[in-house]
Structure 1
Amino acid sequence: MLKTICLTAALGAALLSTAAAADLTFDGRSARASAAADGSFTLLADGRPVAIAAQPMRSQTGSVMFDALFALAQQEMAANRVDAIRDPAFNFGKPVDCECFETGERWPYVWTRDVSFAADLALARLDPVRTRQSLQFKLSKARDGHTPGLFVAQDTGSGGSWPISSDRVVWFLAARDLHDNAVFTEQTWQALQATLAKDRAMVFDPRTGLYRGETSFLDWREQTYPDWTRQDVRFIGDSFALSTNVLHYQALRLAERFARERGDARATEYAAWADALAGEIDARFWREDAGMYMSYIGEAAHPVPYAKYDLLGISLGVLAEVFPADRARRALANYPYVEGGSPVVWPQEAQQPIYHNRAVWPFVSAYSLRAARKVGDATRIQREIESLMRGSALAGSNMENYEMRTLAVHVDEGALSGPVVNSPRQLWSVAGYLSMVLEGVYGVEADGSVTPQLPTALVPQLFGTRTSIELNDGTTTYVLQRPETLEGTLLVAGSVKRNANTVTVKLQPRAADLHPHAAAPQPRSDTPRVSQATPTEASAFAPPTPAAPVVVAQQNAWITIIPANHQLWLDGKPAAGASTQTLAIDGHQHCFSLTRREGVLESLHSPMTCVGPQHTLAGATNWTWTAPEPTRVRLRLRYDNPNGPINTGVTAAVKQLAVQCTGHSPQRATVVMPHSVGPQDSTAAEFDLPKGSCTFTLEPGFNMSALEHFAQYNGGKGGRDGVLNAANVRALLLAPVAGNVEAAR
């Protein structure tokens, strides 16, 4: 039976067990910290000693453990400072000169999303020079010598990288506050223009108003997407992810700012794009029955909601202010947590090993903490601080990830064991821990402002018998003074006094706790708040994904039998709740999928079954078709792309499909042919065609192999052997459709 956690001061009291707050116990394991007179510490992490040297920034609290773990994070940040980086897939594993931050002990390279999130969390403020150099490493010109601009590199990834994965714009989240260097500022502006232009042309979908592509960071297909994407990532490239769209929104806002500062007329256009995108994000990803924003939704051909939620996407949306305030508070309050902390996705997939599935990732917990501070969610603030401390203390390092219930770095469950991949001193985990201390406890922002929001329940552990705690960052000492009485759930700044190099903050209960004028958002009654989550507990695991629906033609109708406890979806919308669905054959293509219901949880969608007329036009680059009347058509290429494995590479084939109809202006849309296992369909393009003859041609596109950055890539094709943007095209598939298929609003 699952237990509901009552959040009281007693929870905080269990965090650290001794009067000196030197011990931490969790899940039957313990850690102990001791301090030396020279400012160094010794951490005994579940029986393993870790020496921690004195560090430039010092925290002095009633918790030796808290102070030691802050020093450990700084020590690991220093260890990630390198003069050269290396990876077996680049430069044949030989060192590449770069005064950069490497990604972690087991990832000694610079990866776009890792360094960008780490920079945004803490590195940009703590070491701007090295952070800037790390980011510059991910900028690139095109290899052809005539394509203008600088581009942010999308690292190797699903189906051959960009645009199946399209979250490279996270780079701009990191760069936005690093503009005290004129050269870097100009590089950022050049990269904004070129990168956003390519994304607008090849990733943006005007039918939905969203950017296509994979969820940011959650890039191991079947860990979070349906298992049928394991060998076919076409759907991922056609679908829309919350986190990635929020990152595009942030990049557009930065472009607007830069353009206004330069008097560039495109500022108005960037602003309009950002405004429209914010509206679509809120409208299309919100799911009222769950009180949360979905992690991703289906493609434009079948824009169905998916019962998958991810903490990074929700947190980024809260922080970017693309959600209405009430929905932002509700979404964070409704996101489930387990005893180990907040898992990065919900619900879990029972047949997948531990990695993103069933896992806590410290950098995501740090973003959740930031979001919780933005909406004043005392419960979430406390949970994330506890989780970050427990994971770091018991592992003796800021690990890449942990199993969600135990915070173990590895759990043996046979084929489901994991986390499958893990690394000590993972850069974004280190940055997340530093962010937790600086912002999450002391409230010190990057601009020097001090806005603490400290859960009252953590005061006994952090203060002990002290009347104040303090942080010295090397230039300024920040002092938090304990209130005389502990009231409410959250302590905020009362008076703030600045004296030379000291900032003293008198903590007091927030006014809303003492004089509530409106009820705070409460989690749904069926939202899991569990003390443990094992594979047998239904509340943690989604129902199995159904097989594709079987649709048969009978007389003049398409007939589908709907199994019990299943929901049929038709052209992006739920079908009526009957055991049989009948749809008239009308000369248009229609697409179906199924989900399974078990209690309050819903499965991921089955593969689509599409029925109706489809014309197969043989050939590789040029096709002609005559429309009998004005018709909207959905086009896909039948192809195979053997240029790399499903999980990596830079050679997703990206082309422009051009349509020229007699007497009309040409139309163009992007089609993507990711790495494949044999023949399959490309991403879709839709056009409104007039009556008469139309000619379809494939025109050159752009992929990551076009960048100079990948000239040193030897992990697959499209690197040292030159640019490669090709697939074996066999036919053009053309299906009439009934107008613009849109998600229900």
Structure 2
Amino acid sequence: MSWRGQSVEMAQGGQGYVLSGAARPRTIPSQPLRSQTASPLFDGLFALAQLEVQQAQVESITDSAFDNGKPIACPCFETGEKWRYVWTRDLSYAADLGLARVSPERTRASLRFKLSGVRPPAAAGGFFVAQDTGSGGSWPISSDRVVWFLAARHLIDGKDADGSRFADETWRALTYTLAQDRQFVFDDSVGLYRGETSYLDWREQSYPRWTANDVAFIAQSFALSTNVLQYQALRLGEQMARRRGDARAATYARQADALAKAIDRAFWREDRGLYMSYIGTAEHRVPFEAYDLLGLALVIESGIAPPDRARRALSRYPALESGSPVIWPQQPDTAIYHNRAIWPFVSAYSLRAARTVGHAPRIAHEIRSLMRGAALAGSNMENFELVTQAVHVDDGALSGPVVNSPRQLWSVAAYLDMVIEGVFGVGEDGSVKPMLPAQLVPMLFGDRDEISLQLVQRKVTLRRPRAIEGDLLVAGTTRVDGVNTVVDLVATRSTQATLATDAAAFAPASPQAPLVHAAGTQWRVTLPPGTRLYVDGQRRADAGTSSIAVTLARQPYQQCLSLTRIGEGGIESLHGPTHCIADQTTVAGEWPRQWTATSGGRFSVRLDFVNPHGPINTGITAAVKTLVVDCPGQPQQTGTLVMPHGQARQLSSAVVFDARAGAQCRFDLRDGFNMSYLSHFAHYTGGTGGAAGALNSAELGELHVVRLADLPAKAGTQ
């Protein structure tokens, strides 16, 4: 194989394979699972993936932030050559892709490491999935820990004692984790779960640059991938509850159905034909020009995306010859990592999504990209630069990928999944449903009539058709001959599909917050040239080549404004900082605090705070409190105040409540929950809230209360 001046060769010998010309030349012994095709490169890289699975098997794990870097006993999979620990999302995606299939016992052990009971001052009981250290002090700013259940669903068959025990552990963790996320992360008014995009957790890479020092926005925004993971967890809850005769099955089903509709409605952007990566806050839901391949793949594979939207999105999501970028468009002045990059595990999910709807060009594209990346590097790397598919590109301050580890576990699993299911179509249930693009036949079959995959106790053989009239080969006649399943492929014509090619296009830089001035009974907003104004999440005005002024009527309720910039090809920037305008009341003093509503309606309250207990990019001590609002004549109202790490004074997330005119309301605080309450983090020595004990606090200031616009009346009401 040759690529941009580099040539690699895979030679097959009696005892395995030899890879030469790669960045890391390899001698690869024969492995238990074998593919036999016309491509020694394809077959040898399958053996390499199995070798790297073996190399990832350890009896202890280490990380400088846990037990002061001392080994922790765990018969687990470490995450990569440079990442010697077990992280929830890395392990879970790897297990879902292929790890659970090839090594179920060790995968279970690794997943168990991420389950935890609680410690004081948390209430007694509870069993949860651990959200790893993350933005602003971890959960609930990062809230994708439910990805654990995407992995666990493969290992709860109960066919042996350990499987039955693991199923019980999964059920217990599932019920507690779903309930806790529903309480602290779900937004009833929007119908979605708040929090950061799954795995895209280096905010400057894919979020607006101003979030580098302000993650409160991320805590209150809504991400496609994280919501799909919550949907999948609810579906697993429904299934497990039905098997156990638990009445919660109906509740989980109802919540999952509603969430699926909310996801499809909130994230689909018709003008682009894509699902957005994330949207803004409940009060300012801006339709971001931000898309990510993992979120897109997950929403398609889950079945939430209707088939027509799924096919359209896979055609519209851009690609280069090298592969598919994990985000689009690329962000300016941002180093290579998630930005300007290919991640093999995401490519594998894209392949799965393409198989879901029979998108032949995308299937072929991702298979080639996965092969090329592993071959050039001589390992299943963490990531690659987008244009060159190199493991590192010099670009001054933007050089990268900034971090890149060989034998990254989810990349290894991606290659296994590509071969077993992506090419040979072997499902977890034992079915064989190949979906092979005709353009790959010359590479895989050559002059052969058949190719085969040898599994532990089974062989699968695919036989090519005599004539290929169509772009996709699928199963025709299937017969079983002893341990050999033989599938006669037939050619079919899939729904016409293409691939967009502007994957390397950049978005313009985000503008500053809008300048707003009072002008009598109006607000005057200045728009710099080339910007677009959003008010309360709705597009309001565009400036052309010169600045313009827009007037807004002063309202008795809060209005939130932000600007974007329009670049070449109509690509829109991520929006600048939000500026909200409203008359507000501050409430200080000892708790409980008193406040009188001068008018009736909906109100938003935030708490002024400083949380100095960790850096803004990591830790486990995001402060989480429950605000209790008691207003006469109404039921008690509660909501979650999230207070991320940060050295500057800022405002918490908002709690929305109703009050009648003249009502004397009382605000009080109850303790919430954060990751430091988990026993798992007694090993954490990289910051506060770990070995020294749980910590869930911040320096609290005034409450800020503003009036909100009334909700529109529902159809049939007055």
Shift of 1:600: 2.4
1:126: which partner in 2? 102
1:542: which partner in 2? 507
Q: CA–CA distance in 1 between the matches of 2:69 and 2:339?
A: 30
Matched, 1:643 2:643: no
1:84: which partner in 2? 60
Q: CA–CA distance in 1 between the matches of 2:467 and 2:484?
A: 24
Shift of 1:669: 0.2
1:581: which partner in 2? 550
1:207: which partner in 2? 189
Match of 1:164 among 133, 141, 144: 141
Q: CA–CA distance in 2 between the matches of 1:731 and 1:287?
A: 39
Match of 1:656 among 626, 631, 642: 626
Secondary structure at 1:717 match in 2: coil
Which range moved further: 202-211 or 123-132?
Answer: 123-132
2:716: which partner in 1? none
1:98: which partner in 2? 74
Match of 1:672 among 642, 648, 670: 642
1:698: which partner in 2? 669
Amino acid at match of 1:102: E
Q: CA, structure 1 residues 521+484, in 2 after alignment: closer, same or farther (shift >3 Å)? A: closer
Q: CA–CA distance in 1 between the matches of 2:236 and 2:591?
A: 39
Amino acid at match of 1:308: A
Secondary structure at 1:414 match in 2: coil
Matched, 1:57 2:30: no
Secondary structure at 1:388 match in 2: helix
Q: CA–CA distance in 1 between the matches of 2:666 and 2:91?
A: 45
Alignment of 1:112-191 (within 5 A): 112-144=88-120, 146-179=123-156, 180=158, 181-191=163-173
Q: CA–CA distance in 2 between the matches of 1:255 and 1:499?
A: 38
Q: CA, structure 1 residues 485+394, in 2 after alignment: closer, same or farther (shift >3 Å)? A: same
Contact persistence 2:23–2:377 (CA under 8 A): no
Secondary structure at 2:468 match in 1: coil
Q: CA–CA distance in 2 between the matches of 1:740 and 1:500?
A: 65
Q: CA–CA distance in 1 between the matches of 2:689 and 2:53?
A: 34
Amino acid at match of 1:206: D
Secondary structure at 2:705 match in 1: strand
Contact persistence 1:640–1:729 (CA under 8 A): yes
2:578: which partner in 1? 608
Alignment of 1:224-263 (within 5 A): 224-263=206-245
Shift of 1:174: 0.3
Count of paired positions: 701
Q: CA–CA distance in 2 between the matches of 1:316 and 1:48?
A: 32
Contact persistence 1:232–1:677 (CA under 8 A): no
Render the CA deviation track for 1:307-351: whole Å, top value 9, x for unaligned: 000000010000100111211111111110012100000000121
Q: CA–CA distance in 2 between the matches of 1:522 and 1:372?
A: 12
Amino acid at match of 1:727: A
Which range moved further: 262-271 or 393-402?
Answer: 262-271
Matched, 1:415 2:397: yes
Match of 1:459 among 426, 434, 441: 441
Contact persistence 2:531–2:542 (CA under 8 A): no
2:565: which partner in 1? 596
Secondary structure at 2:75 match in 1: strand
Shift of 1:474: 2.1
Amino acid at match of 1:77: V
Contact persistence 2:268–2:274 (CA under 8 A): yes
Render the CA deviation track for 1:240-285: whole Å, top value 9, x for unaligned: 0000000000000010111111111111111110000000000000
Contact persistence 2:331–2:506 (CA under 8 A): yes
Matched, 1:398 2:377: no
Contact persistence 2:35–2:43 (CA under 8 A): yes
Shift of 1:46: 3.0
With normalisation by structure 2, the TM-score equals: 0.96
Secondary structure at 2:607 match in 1: strand
Which range moved further: 102-111 or 624-633?
Answer: 624-633
Matched, 1:217 2:190: no
Amino acid at match of 1:617: V
Shift of 1:354: 0.3
1:528: which partner in 2? 501
Alignment of 1:559-574 (within 5 A): 559-574=524-539
Contact persistence 1:330–1:522 (CA under 8 A): no
Contact persistence 2:530–2:542 (CA under 8 A): no
Shift of 1:576: 4.2
Amino acid at match of 2:353: A
Q: CA–CA distance in 2 between the matches of 1:79 and 1:587?
A: 64
Q: CA–CA distance in 1 between the matches of 2:712 and 2:25?
A: 60
Q: CA–CA distance in 2 between the matches of 1:474 and 1:206?
A: 48
Secondary structure at 1:677 match in 2: strand
Q: CA, structure 1 residues 741+381, in 2 after alignment: closer, same or farther (shift >3 Å)? A: farther
Amino acid at match of 2:226: T
Q: CA–CA distance in 2 between the matches of 1:378 and 1:520?
A: 9
Alignment of 1:238-637 (within 5 A): 238-510=220-492, 512-513=493-494, 520=496, 527-529=500-502, 533=504, 540-577=505-542, 579-598=548-567, 599-619=569-589, 621-637=591-607
Q: CA–CA distance in 2 between the matches of 1:474 and 1:270?
A: 37
Matched, 1:735 2:717: no
Q: CA–CA distance in 2 between the matches of 1:720 and 1:218?
A: 28
Render the CA deviation track for 1:160-186: whole Å, top value 9, x for unaligned: 000000000000000112112111111
Amino acid at match of 1:673: M
Contact persistence 1:112–1:138 (CA under 8 A): yes
Q: CA–CA distance in 1 between the matches of 2:39 and 2:590?
A: 68
Q: CA–CA distance in 2 between the matches of 1:219 and 1:646?
A: 12
Amino acid at match of 1:584: A
2:682: which partner in 1? 711
Q: CA, structure 1 residues 522+650, in 2 after alignment: closer, same or farther (shift >3 Å)? A: same
Q: CA–CA distance in 2 between the matches of 1:303 and 1:146?
A: 35
Secondary structure at 2:99 match in 1: helix
Shift of 1:480: 1.0
Q: CA–CA distance in 2 between the matches of 1:707 and 1:343?
A: 36
Amino acid at match of 1:417: S
Contact persistence 2:451–2:462 (CA under 8 A): yes
Secondary structure at 1:223 match in 2: helix
Amino acid at match of 2:276: M
Shift of 1:620: 6.4
Q: CA–CA distance in 2 between the matches of 1:596 and 1:696?
A: 40
Q: CA–CA distance in 1 between the matches of 2:345 and 2:550?
A: 45
Amino acid at match of 1:293: Y
**CA RMSD, Structure 1 to Structure 2 (Å):** 1.4
Shift of 1:146: 4.3
Shift of 1:529: 4.7
Contact persistence 1:354–1:403 (CA under 8 A): yes
Q: CA, structure 1 residues 738+367, in 2 after alignment: closer, same or farther (shift >3 Å)? A: same
User: Which blocks of at least 5 consecutive residues in structure 2 are unaligned?
Assistant: 714-718
Q: CA, structure 1 residues 360+522, in 2 after alignment: closer, same or farther (shift >3 Å)? A: closer
Q: CA–CA distance in 1 between the matches of 2:96 and 2:63?
A: 24
Q: CA–CA distance in 2 between the matches of 1:427 and 1:249?
A: 25
Shift of 1:563: 2.7
Amino acid at match of 1:486: I
Match of 2:18 among 42, 47, 63: 42
Shift of 1:125: 1.1
Q: CA–CA distance in 1 between the matches of 2:124 and 2:377?
A: 48
Q: CA–CA distance in 2 between the matches of 1:494 and 1:584?
A: 66
Q: CA–CA distance in 1 between the matches of 2:25 and 2:247?
A: 59
